[in-house]
Amino acid sequence: MALVGTLPRNEDGIASTVGILKQRFGDRLQTGAAIRAQHAHTTTWLPNQPADAVVFASSTEEVSEIVRICADHRTPLIPFGTGTSLEGHLNAPGGGISLDLSHMQKVLEVHAEDLDCRIQPGVTRKQLNTHLRDQGLFFPIDPGADASLGGMAATRASGTNAVRYGTMRDNVIALEAVMADGRAVRTARRARKTSAGYDLTRLLIGSEGTLGIITELTLKLQGIPEAMSSARCSFPSVEAACNAVILSVQMGLPMARIELLDGLQVKACNAYSKLSLPEGPLLLLEFHGSKASVAEQAQTFGEIADDTGGFDFAWSGRAEDRTALWQARHDAYWASIALRPGCKALSTDICVPISQLAACVTAAQMQLEKLDLMAPIVGHAGDGNFHCLLLLDEHNPDDLIKAEHFTHWLADLAHAHDGTCTGEHGIGQGKASYLRAEIGESTDVMAAIKTALDPDNILNPGKILLS
Amino acid sequence: MALVGTLPRNEDGIASTVGILKQRFGDRLQTGAAIRAQHAHTTTWLPNQPADAVVFASSTEEVSEIVRICADHRTPLIPFGTGTSLEGHLNAPGGGISLDLSHMQKVLEVHAEDLDCRIQPGVTRKQLNTHLRDQGLFFPIDPGADASLGGMAATRASGTNAVRYGTMRDNVIALEAVMADGRAVRTARRARKTSAGYDLTRLLIGSEGTLGIITELTLKLQGIPEAMSSARCSFPSVEAACNAVILSVQMGLPMARIELLDGLQVKACNAYSKLSLPEGPLLLLEFHGSKASVAEQAQTFGEIADDTGGFDFAWSGRAEDRTALWQARHDAYWASIALRPGCKALSTDICVPISQLAACVTAAQMQLEKLDLMAPIVGHAGDGNFHCLLLLDEHNPDDLIKAEHFTHWLADLAHAHDGTCTGEHGIGQGKASYLRAEIGESTDVMAAIKTALDPDNILNPGKILLS
C-alpha cells in the first residue's frame, strides 16, 4: 500500500469540536465507523484516513458556524460532495470533521436569457441537467461520475467535452465561499466578464477545499444544440490518430468531443460490448451545431482522417446510430474492468501539448508492457489529456509497487514533454510529491497564499501542498 | 480634476534606488520630466503622477535584479508596457520606479501544432499577429489599442471578439512572473489544461502588476478561419437589438463579434464616415468558420433580426463588403471625437448580464441627457459590456464634475443589475472606490493575498485596493 502523509492530531481540539457540533447538530453529526470510512472514500490506491465525525450542513450559515467552531479549536475540516474524487482529497490525515454538503442541493435560480444559474454546491451535474432540460439548456462539463458541482469546481474537473466547452475553470461566473475564519464571501457579480480585482473565482476553482468551502456557484449554461453528429475512425497507429487530432484542431473544427482509445481498450470493448472494431487506435468524435454544420463537420473530419491514414470511418446524425458509434466509449470503464475480473482500477491523468500526445501514449504503452501491467488507455485527445486505467490486484504487493513506480514514471514523462501530472483529477494527496517538480517555486507562492488565507491550516490540510 | 490618492514617499529609499539603478543601467535609467510624465500616461481624467525614474529592462534576470534593488529599499515599482491603460494603472502615487518592459519584445517560440506560443511581455498584439500570419495563426484578443500582451494580461483585457474567443483570462496557458522578492516563477507547463494546484496564472491575470511582474507569456493561438462573414442590422430600439442578441446567444449562434452602437454613435458615424445608416440602434456582427457555415450563420441572424423588429439587414462574405458593413464601427472613436472637436474622451466600462443590457443602456442614455453630457455608446453586446464615451471639455470644471458624477452613478447602476463596474479596463486608481460595493468582503481576501505576496507593498501600490 502506498504511503500517504499523516499530520499530528490535535486530540483535545477535535474532541471539543465533536462535542460542540453534536450538541448543535444532533443526528446530523455522525461518528459511526462506516460513515466515516465512506466519507474518506478514495477511488484510488491510497489508504483510507477517516475523519473523526461527519456533519451535514444545510445552509451557508451552518457552514460558517461549523467553520468557526473548527477554527476556534484548530480542528481540520474536509469538505465532501459525492466522494468521487480520485487522489485522496477526502482523507483526514490529521483527523477532524468531514463536512458533507450533499444536502445543499437546491437550484436557486435559472436565468435562461443570460444562460446562467445559481446553485448550491451539493447539486450534481445530472440533477442540474434534469432540472434544465425543459428550458432547452444544459451544463456541459462531464467528468464521468455524477459528481457534485461544488466538488467539480473544487477539483477543477473537466472531461470529454472540454475541447469545446472548457473545464470548470471556464464555466463558473462566481462563487460564494466560506473562508477559514467563517466569513462567507462572494467572488463576483453575475456579469459574463469582469476586470474587477484579483480572480478569486479562479483561485478557489481547483483549490481542493484548502482555501475556502464553496457554498454557492453561479454557472454558465449552454443552449442544447439543434443537432449533433457522431463519428468514428480507426487508425494504423497512435501517431496517425494524433495527427488527425492536430489537423482538426489547427483548422478550427469545432469538435464537442474527440476521444482516443488505444488498441487494448478497443479489444476490451469488443469483448465486453460485442463489437467488431479493428483492434488498434480509435477516435470517436461528436459535433454540436445546426443540422447542416454538424454534417459538414463530420464529413470534414472524414477527409482529415483519410489524409492521415484513418480507415473504417463512419458518421451519423441520427440519435440511435450515434449511440452505437460511441458504444465502445460508453462501456470503456466496465470493459476494462472485465479484462481482469475482481481487479481494482487506478486511473492516471497526465496532460501534454497535443504535439507530444502520440509520443507519450506510445511511451506509456511500452512502459506498461515492460512492467507487465495491464492498462487500457483512453484520452481526451483534443486537450492532450489521457488516462491509463491500471488494472491491479490490490492483494498483490508487487502490483501495487509496479503501479506506484509507473505513476511516478508517468509524471516524469509528462514533465519531460512540458505537460502536467494532472489534467483534471487534481493533486490531493496522491500527487503532492510531483508538484514542485512541475512548477518549481510557484509551489512556494501557493504556500504563501494558503498561509495567508488559512493560517491555522484547518481547511483540508495535507492536500496539494506537502506540509 | 478628480481626486486620486497619494501615498507617503520613501524619499531616502527612492533616492538610493535611483542611484543604484543609474550605476547599473546607465542610459537605460531615465529621469527626465517628459519621459516620466509619459510613463504615467493615463488616457483618462486622472491627474498624472510620474515615477521618479524610468528603467528599461531587457530580460527576466534584469527584472529580478531591479525588483530586488527596489525591495531592498522599499521603493515602489510600476510596470509599463505601452501606456494604453485607462484607469491610472501607471501612476506613481508614492513615487518610485517605472519599469518599462517594451524592449522585451521577442517572440520566443511558436508551436503551430499545439496552437500556442511563448513571448516576452513587451510584444504587442499587432506585432504578434504579424509574426504569426505566415503560419495561418492568430491571437484573437483585440482591445482596440495595440497594447503589449504583458499589459493586456495584467489588466485582463478583452474587446470585440470576447464573445467567441474569451478574454485574456481564457487565452493564457502559463506565465513567468517576477514576484516581490525578486524570484522568477513559472505558473504552469504548456498543457492546455491542468488541475495542478492553485491557478496562479489566473491570479496574476488582472492583478495589474500588484502581485508580480509578468516577464513571459505562453498564449493560446487560433487558426485563421477559412472564411468570415459580416452582417449589419438596424433596430427600432435598444431593447429590440438586445433581444436579437439574447436569442442569438441562446441558440448558440457562434458569433465572433456582435457590437451594439446607439443612435448617437450611428449619427456620429454617418457624419464622419459619410454613411447613411438609420440613426437608431445598430448591431454589427462577424462570423468565423467554413464558407458554408459563415453564410448559414449570417442568414440565421437575419431571421432572428426579422423576428425582433430589425430592419435594413445586410450581410456579406466578401472582404471588401465586410469592411464597408463595419465602417461605422472602425471609425466609431474618431467619429465620436469629431462630435465635439478638441474634447477629451473618457470611456466608461460597465458589464451586466445580457438580460439587463437594454435597461442599463437606456438608463445611461437618460442620465446622460439629464446631465447634459454628450456620450455615444458602443457595446460588446454578446458579453453585456458597454462603453459610454464621454466627450468632455477638460478646461470646464462643470464637465468634469458631471463626468465624475456619471461614472459613480453608472457603477451603482451596474451593481443594481448584478454587474461589474469594469468589464475589461480594470480597477487601477479610477475604480478602487467601487470595489467593495461590488464584491464586499472579497476585497479583504484580495488584501490578504496582496500582503502575503508583497508584504512591503512595492508592486504598483495604490492600485485595485485602497491603501
Whole-complex ipTM = 0.97
Residues contacting residue B289 through CB under 8 Å, at least 6 positions apart: A252, A254, A293, B225, B226, B227, B254, B297
Nearest-CA distance A435 → chain B (Å):
7
Nearest-CA distance A186 → chain B (Å):
6
* Structural domain contains residue A83: no
Nearest one of B314, B161, B120 to B230, comparing CA atoms: B314
- A44 has a pLDDT exceeding 90: no
pLDDT at A3: 61
Q: Side chain identity at A23, as an amino acid letter?
A: Q
CA distances from B154 to B85, B232, B352 (A): 10, 33, 22
Q: What DSSP character marks residue A148?
A: B
Angle, in degrees to the nearest 10, between helices A291-307 and A238-250: 130
pLDDT at B41: 76
Backbone angles phi, psi at A40, to 5 degrees: -100, 15
Q: Flag if A226 and B251 touch (Cβ within 8 Å).
A: yes
pLDDT at B147: 97
Q: Flag if B156 and A195 touch (Cβ within 8 Å).
A: yes
CA distances from A110 to A115, A137, A188, B91 (A): 8, 10, 17, 42
Grade residue B357 by pLDDT with cuts at 50, 70 and 90.
very high
CATH number assigned to the domain comprising residue B72 = 3.30.43.10
Angle, in degrees to the nearest 10, between helices A397-416 and A357-370: 160
pLDDT tens sequence across A53-96: 999 999 999 999 999 999 999 999 999 999 999 999 999 999 99
Mean pLDDT of all residues belonging to chain B: 96
Instruction: Tell me how far apart the terminal alpha carbons of chain B are, to the nearest angstrom.
Output: 21
Of A169, A222, A351, Cβ closest to residue B252? A222
Q: Flag if B353 and A452 touch (Cβ within 8 Å).
A: no
Of A116, A251, A464, Cβ closest to residue B223? A251
The DSSP secondary structure of A346-414, one letter per residue, reads EE--EE--GGGHHHHHHHHHHHHHHTT----EEEEGGGTEEEEEEEE-TT-HHHHHHHHHHHHHHHHHH
* Structural domain contains residue B250: yes
- A269 has a pLDDT exceeding 90: yes
CATH number assigned to the domain comprising residue B233 = 3.30.70.2190
Is residue B120 within 8 A of residue B128, CB to CB? The reply is no
Q: Flag if A427 and B197 touch (Cβ within 8 Å).
A: yes
Q: Which of A176, A202, A223 is the last residue of a domain?
A: A223
Nearest-CA distance B14 → chain A (Å):
27
Q: Flag if A441 and B155 touch (Cβ within 8 Å).
A: no
Q: Does B447 touch chain A (CB under 8 A)?
A: no
pLDDT at B46: 86
Grade residue A381 by pLDDT with cuts at 50, 70 and 90.
very high
- B2 has a pLDDT exceeding 60: no
Say what percent of chain B tops pLDDT 90.
Answer: 95
pLDDT at B265: 98
Q: Does A59 touch chain B (CB under 8 A)?
A: no
B267-271 long-range contacts (CB < 8 A, ≥24 apart) are B268/B332, B268/B335, B268/B336, B268/B338, B268/B339, B268/B376, B269/B327, B269/B328, B269/B331, B269/B332, B269/B335, B270/B328, B271/B335, B271/B338, B271/B339
* Structural domain contains residue A240: yes
Residue with cell 511581455: B121
What part of B 224-253 touches A (C-beta under 8 Å)?
A: 225-226, 246, 249-252
CATH number assigned to the domain comprising residue A399 = 3.40.462.10
Q: Does B412 touch chain A (CB under 8 A)?
A: no
Instruction: Indicate whether A194 and A322 sit together in one domain.
Output: no
Nearest-CA distance B265 → chain A (Å):
24
CATH number assigned to the domain comprising residue B370 = 3.30.70.2740
The residue segments making up the domain with residue A233 are 225-426
pLDDT tens sequence across A130-171: 999 999 999 999 999 999 999 999 999 999 999 999 999 999
- B467 has a pLDDT exceeding 80: no
Give the cell for residue A461.
490540510
pLDDT at A136: 94
CB atoms within 10 A of CB B5: 17
Secondary structure class of B303 (helix, strand, coil): helix
Q: Flag if B440 and A186 touch (Cβ within 8 Å).
A: yes
Nearest one of B85, B141, B137, B77 to B107, comparing CA atoms: B137
Q: Flag if B226 and A448 touch (Cβ within 8 Å).
A: no
Burial class (CB in 10 A: 0-12, 13-18, 19+), A398: exposed
Instruction: Indicate whether A268 and A356 sit together in one domain.
Output: yes
Burial class (CB in 10 A: 0-12, 13-18, 19+), A109: exposed
- Which of these ranges, A36-50, A258-272, A367-381, B311-325, has the smallest mean pLDDT? A36-50
Q: Does B290 touch chain A (CB under 8 A)?
A: yes
What is the C-alpha separation between B298 and B315, in angstroms, rounded? 7
Return the H-helix or E-strand segment holding A51. none
Q: Flag if A198 and B211 touch (Cβ within 8 Å).
A: yes
CA distances from A190 to A173, B168, B247, B256, B438 (A): 6, 19, 19, 22, 11
Nearest-CA distance B84 → chain A (Å):
16
Instruction: Indicate whether B95 and B126 sit together in one domain.
Output: no
Nearest one of B308, B286, B314, B327 to B241, comparing CA atoms: B308
Q: Where does B362-417 show beta strands of DSSP type E?
A: 377-380, 385-392
Instruction: Indicate whether A412 and A283 sit together in one domain.
Output: yes
Q: Flag if B155 and A195 touch (Cβ within 8 Å).
A: yes
Instruction: Indicate whether B170 and B120 sit together in one domain.
Output: yes
- Which of these ranges, A95-109, A450-464, B3-17, has the smallest mean pLDDT? B3-17
Grade residue B1 by pLDDT with cuts at 50, 70 and 90.
very low
Q: Which residue of A has its CA nearest to B466?
A: A197
* Structural domain contains residue B218: yes
Secondary structure class of A44 (helix, strand, coil): coil
- A467 has a pLDDT exceeding 90: no
Q: Flag if A250 and B115 touch (Cβ within 8 Å).
A: yes
* Structural domain contains residue B461: no
Q: Which of A110, A113, A195, A210 to mutate to test the interface with B (most CBs of B within 10 A)?
A: A195
What is the C-alpha separation between B51 and B77, in angstroms, rounded? 9
* Structural domain contains residue A42: no
| Contact residues, chain A, for B439 at CB < 8 Å | 185-189, 196-197
Grade residue A1 by pLDDT with cuts at 50, 70 and 90.
very low
What is the C-alpha separation between B184 and B178, in angstroms, rounded? 4
Is residue B40 within 8 A of residue B53, CB to CB? The reply is no
Q: Flag if A194 and B423 touch (Cβ within 8 Å).
A: yes
Q: Where does B90-242 show beta strands of DSSP type E?
A: 97-100, 107-111, 116-119, 137-138, 172-178, 184-186, 213-220, 222-223, 227-234
Of B113, B353, B448, Cβ closest to residue A246? B113
Instruction: Indicate whether A187 and A217 sit together in one domain.
Output: yes
Q: Which of B116, B156, B192 to mutate to test the interface with A (most CBs of A within 10 A)?
A: B192
Instruction: Indicate whether A309 and A374 sit together in one domain.
Output: yes
Instruction: Indicate whether B129 and B208 sit together in one domain.
Output: yes
Q: Which of B285, B305, B332 is the last residue of a domain?
A: B332
Q: What DSSP character marks residue B382?
A: G
Instruction: Indicate whether A311 and A296 sit together in one domain.
Output: yes
Return the H-helix or E-strand segment holding A451. helix A442-453
- In total, how many domains does chain A have? 2
CB atoms within 10 A of CB A456: 16
Q: Does B401 touch chain A (CB under 8 A)?
A: no
pLDDT at B112: 96
Q: Does B418 touch chain A (CB under 8 A)?
A: yes
Q: Flag if B251 and A296 touch (Cβ within 8 Å).
A: no
Q: Flag if B166 and A170 touch (Cβ within 8 Å).
A: yes
Q: Does A436 touch chain B (CB under 8 A)?
A: no
Q: Does B151 touch chain A (CB under 8 A)?
A: no
Say what percent of chain A tops pLDDT 90.
Answer: 95
Give the cell for residue B174.
502559463
pLDDT at B3: 61
- A371 has a pLDDT exceeding 80: yes
Q: Flag if A111 and B355 touch (Cβ within 8 Å).
A: yes
Residue with cell 462570423: B287
| Contact residues, chain B, for A186 at CB < 8 Å | 439-440, 442
Q: Flag if A353 and B207 touch (Cβ within 8 Å).
A: no
* Structural domain contains residue A26: no
Instruction: Indicate whether A242 and A203 sit together in one domain.
Output: no
* Structural domain contains residue A244: yes
Return the H-helix or E-strand segment holding A434. none
Q: Where does A165-242 show beta strands of DSSP type E?
A: 172-179, 184-186, 212-220, 222-223, 227-234
What pTM was estimated for this model as a whole?
A: 0.97
Of A246, A251, A423, Cβ closest to residue B195? A423
pLDDT tens sequence across B199-234: 999 999 999 999 999 999 999 999 999 999 999 999
Q: Which of B158, B189, B223 is the last residue of a domain?
A: B223
What is the C-alpha separation between B81 and B148, in angstroms, rounded? 5
Q: Does A347 touch chain B (CB under 8 A)?
A: no
pLDDT at B296: 93
Is residue B59 within 8 A of residue B442, CB to CB? The reply is no
- B274 has a pLDDT exceeding 90: yes
CATH number assigned to the domain comprising residue A195 = 3.30.465.10
Nearest one of A252, A270, A241 to A381, comparing CA atoms: A241
Grade residue B4 by pLDDT with cuts at 50, 70 and 90.
confident
What is the mean pLDDT of the segment spanning B171-178? 98
What part of A 116-135 touches B (C-beta under 8 Å)?
A: 116
Q: Which residues make beta-bridge pairs with A138?
A: A222
Q: Does A427 touch chain B (CB under 8 A)?
A: yes
Instruction: Indicate whether B281 and B340 sit together in one domain.
Output: no
Instruction: Tell me how far apart the terminal alpha carbons of chain A are, to the nearest angstrom.
Output: 21
Mean pLDDT of all residues belonging to chain A: 96
Instruction: Indicate whether B266 and B340 sit together in one domain.
Output: no
Q: Does B161 touch chain A (CB under 8 A)?
A: no
| Contact residues, chain B, for A115 at CB < 8 Å | 249-250
